[in-house]
Amino acid sequence: MESCGEIHRRILEERVPAMLREGMSEAEFAAALYPVMVEEGHHGVARFAMFQTEMALGNICFGESSLYPNYFDGPGGSYGLHPAVPLLGSRERKLAKGELVFVDIACGVEGYHTDKTMTYMFGGPVSDEAIAAHEQCVAIQNSIAKQLKPGAIPSAIYQQIIEGLNPDFLQNFMGSGSRPARFLGHGIGLQIDEAPVIAKGFDEPLQEGMVLAIEPKKGLDQIGLVGIENTFVVTTEGGRCITGAHPGLLKVY
């Protein structure tokens, strides 16, 4: 997972910016990204425990398409190629200057996975509102990471974070519309969606060496989903990130 996380960091923080170009479709970008991932060492598929969920990449979204609902139990959505195949991005949705790019993908090496989300500002900055919301999501991630120590209770972390947020910020937090995700992070390893989960009902204490992906995100109308996700190892000093330290909204212009 350590080597997987470094591959993940290199792909999303170093290689993706050079791949984005005006006028390309989400599907075109996804098709270009997949061989880069395999070249870097990705084992080619992301495995989940949830019913009938196995994917090559994840959510590949330009602008507001990350707000589009689908069956997947997570904060992000996607138009996809078809309602029957809602991932890999749309052939019709083309990238324009000034848009947010949202890439939420898993990476795997020898059966084990990491999870990471990276956002990009393509051809110009996004709105001040989007930047402020994104920065708050990053602050939430960092606050949770500090608490990922042996003995910490996942449900208590979840409650503390949610109760500390402004009601206005909670609107479209962890998803857009009436079906927000009811968690802030999830265990990860042989499958993307393992226990423990940073959510209500998960009352068993964390143990040293557990690995969790933390993903606070917020939907903004006509902009898309802002926020971040990285994978952390539980240590006595708090969560140690193994997927990179870039705070997101990476400039591509």
Q: Give the pTM.
A: 0.96
Residue 48 burial (CB count, 10 A): 17
Find the distance separating the first CA and the last CA of the chain, reported in whole Å: 32
Ramachandran quadrant class, 203 (left: phi over 0; alpha: psi -120 to 50; beta: rest): alpha
Domains of the chain: 2-252 (3.90.230.10)
Q: 196: cis peptide before it, omega within 30°?
A: yes
Instruction: Specify whether the CB–CB gap between 125 and 131 falls below 8 A.
Output: yes
According to the model, what pLDDT value does residue 252 have?
98
pLDDT, tens digit, for every residue of 154-205?
A: 999 999 999 999 999 999 999 887 778 999 999 999 999 999 999 999 999 9
Cα 187 from Cα 134, distance rounded (Å): 23
Mean pLDDT of the chain: 95
Confidence class for position 87, pLDDT limits 50, 70, 90: confident
pLDDT, tens digit, for every residue of 132-146?
A: 999 999 999 999 999
Confidence class for position 52, pLDDT limits 50, 70, 90: low
> What stretch of H or E contains 47?
strand 46-47
Confidence class for position 10, pLDDT limits 50, 70, 90: very high
Cα 136 from Cα 248, distance rounded (Å): 12
Radius of gyration of the chain (CA): 17
Confidence class for position 13, pLDDT limits 50, 70, 90: very high
Confidence class for position 84, pLDDT limits 50, 70, 90: confident
According to the model, what pLDDT value does residue 17 have?
98
According to the model, what pLDDT value does residue 178 have?
74
Is residue 48's pLDDT more than 70?
yes
pLDDT (mean) for 65-92: 86
According to the model, what pLDDT value does residue 129 have?
97
Cα 219 from Cα 227, distance rounded (Å): 9
Least confident of 4-18, 75-89, 157-171: 75-89
Confidence class for position 14, pLDDT limits 50, 70, 90: very high
Cα 34 from Cα 30, distance rounded (Å): 6
Cα 53 from Cα 76, distance rounded (Å): 15
